[in-house]
């Protein structure tokens, strides 16, 4: 049963999508709403865990799902650098780390101090130079404490399920996470919706599980896989 099966566990969850500033009023971002990560935090708390939720640019309406749960501490963050600092500190005191946030792979090399104005461009469009962000998940894997379970996410644009699985398995091996939750995304599917399909791949060779349903139902299925990994 799931009733309080995660009692005593400290779980860190990241949700939403990081934003990288261009100037004081603009940013590079992504379409992650944070719904899946917030649903995981809510489900984990309902099963007895103590949760810290790093919410990267998640709307208040989405965060409402965890608002009245005393076991969830919500910490808002925005940039990848902020998320990295916060996650490294929290991961040191967590048995389970779930990286559901969509993290920007690149940031703007030099953030403009003042708003970039068309009038100042002499008729030429600006060119943004990007630099790579650190891979937070990879860093946490390097610093993993004994017995800690680290879960990565991957949203992939794919032609079919076989390609999704294949890309997922390669990413799982590359990142060194214990579990990788993979879902297909496209222009129309994955982000804003209340439903999701997650393929949960395990590094220990455990068979893949596929969960379809509300983001809450999918969250519970993922937590089942995490519990089984902790127990083994």
One residue of 22, 136, 198, 211 binding ligand C5P per CB under 6 A: 136
Active site residue 160: no
**Which DSSP string do the residues of the chain spell out, in sequence order?**
--TTTTTT-EEEEEEEB--EEEETTEEE-----SHHHHHHHHHHHHTT-EEEEEEES--HHHHHHHHT-TTEEEEEE-SHHHHHHHHHHHHTT-SEEEE-SB--SEEESS--SS---GGGGTT------EEEPP-HHHHHHHTPPTT-EEEEEEEE--SSHHHHHHHHHHHHHHHT-SEEEEEE--SSSSSS-SEEEEEEEETT-PPPEEEEEEHHHHHHHHHHHHHHHHH-
Site string for ligand C5P, 43-82 (x = CB under 6 A): ----------------------------------------
Whichever of 29 and 48 has its CB closer to ligand C5P, that residue is 29
Q: Which is nearer to ligand C5P, 7 or 173 (CB)?
A: 173
Q: How far is the CB of 119 from ligand C5P (least distance, A)?
A: 35
Among 72, 91, 108, 154, binds ligand C5P (CB under 6 A): 154
Catalytic choice (30, 57, 133, 196): 30
Of residues 152, 168, 172, 178, which one binds ligand C5P by CB under 6 A?
152
Q: Toward ligand C5P, which CB reaches closer, 107 or 216? A: 107
Burial (0-12, 13-18, 19+ Cβ within 10 Å), 100 = buried
Residue placing its CB nearer to ligand C5P in the complex, 99 or 211: 99
Applying CB under 6 A, the span of 128-136, 184-192, 207-215, 222-230 interacting with ligand C5P comes to: 128-136
Could you list the residues that contact ligand C5P (CB under 6 A)? 99, 101, 103, 105, 133, 135-137, 152-154, 171
Active site residues: 30
């Amino acid at each position: 049963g799931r009733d309080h099966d995660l009692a005593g566990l400290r779980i860190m969850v990241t949700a939403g999508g990081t934003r990288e500033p261009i100037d004081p009023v603009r940013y590079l971002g992504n379409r992650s709403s944070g719904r899946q990560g917030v649903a995981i935090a809510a489900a984990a708390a309902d099963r007895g865990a103590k949760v810290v939720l790093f919410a990267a640019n998640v709307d208040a309406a989405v965060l409402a799902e965890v608002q009245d749960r005393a076991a969830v501490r919500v910490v808002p963050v925005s940039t990848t650098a902020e998320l990295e600092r916060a996650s490294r500190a929290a991961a040191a005191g967590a048995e389970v780390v779930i990286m559901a946030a969509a993290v920007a792979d690149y940031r703007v090399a030099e953030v403009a101090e003042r708003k970039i104005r068309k009038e100042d461009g002499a008729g030429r469009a600006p060119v943004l130079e990007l630099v790579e962000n650190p891979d937070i998940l990879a860093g946490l894997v390097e610093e993993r404490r004994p017995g800690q379970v680290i879960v990565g996410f991957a949203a992939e644009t794919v032609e079919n399920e076989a390609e999704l699985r294949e890309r997922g398995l390669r990413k799982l091996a590359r990142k060194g996470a214990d579990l990788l939750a993979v879902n297909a995304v496209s222009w129309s599917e994955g982000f804003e919706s209340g439903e999701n399909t997650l393929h949960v791949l395990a590094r220990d060779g455990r068979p893949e599980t596929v969960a379809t349903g509300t983001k809450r139902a999918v969250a519970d299925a993922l937590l089942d896989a995490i519990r089984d990994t902790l127990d083994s």
